[in-house]
Amino acid sequence: MLDLIINSQSFTPKEEGKVGIYLCGATVQSSPHIGHLRTAVAFDVIRRWFIAKGYNVKFVQNVTDIDDKILRKSAEAGIDWRQHAKKYEKEFTKSYDSLNVLRPDSAPHATKYIGQQIKFIKEIIDNGYAYPGEVDGEFTGNVWFDTSAWKDYGELTHQQNADETEVSIEDMRPDKKSPRDFALWKTPNPEDPDSASWSSPWGKGRPGWHLECSCMSANELKGNFDIHGGGLDLRFPHHENELAQSKAAKEPTPSYWMHSAWVTAKGEKMSKSLGNGLSCETLLKQDVLNSYGLRFAFSTVQYKSMLEWTKETLESSITAGKRLRKALLDLSSNCENNCENQNLNSVDLEVSFPQFAEAMNDDFNVSKAMAAIWGALKKAGSQDYIVIRKALQVLGIDPLSDFWDTLFILEEKSKLPNKTLSEEQIKSINQQILERKEAKNSKDFALADRIRDSLQNKGIRLIDTKDGTTFEIAE
């Protein structure tokens, strides 16, 4: 196995042959935008490369299902905050699925870890690095991490204070020793519903936002905690605070921190708060191949490089996918033996495609890896077909894979006067309908929903009737 470099450091797992990755997941307050998808795809590629290298990977991605914004927006909508969070969690999952992002091995929820977080706080207090808030001799019910007691605070980002323009109300609380101390436990806001508070030794309330990731990563990965990932905007204060409180509690911390860069428009970060965020749902509904275009765009820019978004980004990515598909079909047609019968899992890319492997081992330099694929296609023979496809599957953009193939065929058929499907496509859809029926019979409704949503993302609408399930091509 060739060496892998992450942030100029040689990668060495804590446990040989295994990799533990924790990715900061979404705060499910509203619909996902393309910035969320960029992070998800970036770490999906990282995960896939570790798998291709032969590692046993455990991938954990949390769900922040309680937060001030969730409580505020659910109140504005007049629905229970738990229903609000569940609604948008489903939207995030659907968006990830539509871009061929592998589901996490574990998806812990903040609200399921309240008891563990309380225990975590006790450990930090016992070790002398946190204190209950107090005003005029009266306890306020808040618990704060004491950054002055933790001498290494700032070791991750070499930063100790947020920009003065970003000082929040919490920073100015009178029961804190220092404005930079952060909440481990917080009293509820006056408008919060009772269901959003839990009992603790410090009174009713809920954990501070930073705490959940420290607690869940330590519990889910234990001593196999190699990589902590997230968006660039989480470096400070979120990850800085995580590192401090985890070490203060004497809990596991990662060997490598990885941060995906932003999607920008005219050099400015795209986000809903700035009013320039692009809705995933809007983009995915515009064209049947937009999901492939998004995946291609995100998969072929190195995770820590900014991705400048223009109106041509999707168009050029979809065009590239069509070129890949045609080149692969041409290779397949020249195979003496059936290319489709070749075993993708048997391909060792570090041996059979060293240019690609070298790029991926260089801190996941996917731009260079994609250039290696284009170069290989220019001089490829049929013997290279399976190797190139395996490389494309590491990036999640193999246009002939089961996931994307139907989508391309639907797009091709949509341009014909009558939208028809081939016998092979009809057979595949009917097989998935059967699998969905079996899943529903065994009460695996999550699988049944995934099959339905996967077909719908590819332009196939299922119609359930008392006589069974049929389908139609969505307009």
What are the DSSP calls for 323-371, one per residue? HHHHHHHHHHHT-SS-GGGS-GGG--HHHH-HHHHHHHHBT--HHHHHH
Residue 15: which residues within 8 A CB-CB, separation 6 or more?
223, 224
Residues above pLDDT 70, as percent of the chain: 92
Q: Is the pLDDT of residue 227 over 60?
A: yes
Over residues 58-63, the mean pLDDT reads 98
At residue 465, what are phi and psi to the nearest 5 degrees?
Answer: -130, 175
* pLDDT class of 165 with cuts at 50, 70, 90: very low
With H, G, I as helix, E, B as strand and everything else as coil, classify residue 257.
strand
The single residue listed with the structure tokens 């979120």 is 238
Report the pLDDT value the prediction gives residue 338, as an integer from 0 to 100. 65
* pLDDT class of 468 with cuts at 50, 70, 90: confident
Report the pLDDT value the prediction gives residue 320, as an integer from 0 to 100. 97
What is the per-residue burial (b if ≥16 Cβ within 10 Å, else e) of 227-237? bbbbbbebebb
The CA distance from 29 to 156, in Å, is 28
Over residues 407-435, the mean pLDDT reads 76
**Count of positions (residues) in the chain:** 475
Residue 417: which residues within 8 A CB-CB, separation 6 or more?
none
Report the pLDDT value the prediction gives residue 83, as an integer from 0 to 100. 97
Over residues 221-232, the mean pLDDT reads 95
The single residue listed with the structure tokens 């060496």 is 3
Which letter does DSSP use for residue 227 in this model?
E
Over residues 44-68, the mean pLDDT reads 97
The single residue listed with the structure tokens 């059967």 is 434
Amino acid at 19: V
Report the pLDDT value the prediction gives residue 412, as an integer from 0 to 100. 77
Report the pLDDT value the prediction gives residue 164, as an integer from 0 to 100. 37
Q: DSSP secondary structure string, 278-314?
A: PBHHHHHHH-TTHHHHHHHHHHTS-TTS-EE--THHH
**Among candidates 154, 140, 142, which has minimal Cα distance to 182?**
142
Tokens describing residue 26: 């979404």
* pLDDT class of 277 with cuts at 50, 70, 90: low
Q: What is the mean pLDDT of the chain?
A: 90
The single residue listed with the structure tokens 């139609």 is 472
Domains and CATH numbers, the chain: 9-286 (3.40.50.620), 302-401 (1.20.120), 421-473 (no CATH)
Please give the model's pTM, rounded to 2 decimal places: 0.86
Tokens describing residue 121: 């706080």
Report the pLDDT value the prediction gives residue 167, as an integer from 0 to 100. 44
Over residues 189-194, the mean pLDDT reads 94
Amino acid at 104: P
Q: Which residue has the higher pLDDT, 442 or 117?
A: 117
Q: What is the dihedral of CA 423, 427, 428, 431, to 10 degrees?
A: 170
Lowest mean pLDDT of 420-424, 429-433, 444-448, name the range.
Answer: 420-424
Report the pLDDT value the prediction gives residue 11, as an integer from 0 to 100. 97
**Among candidates 126, 125, 254, which has minimal Cα distance to 184?**
125
Q: Is the pLDDT of residue 273 over 60?
A: no
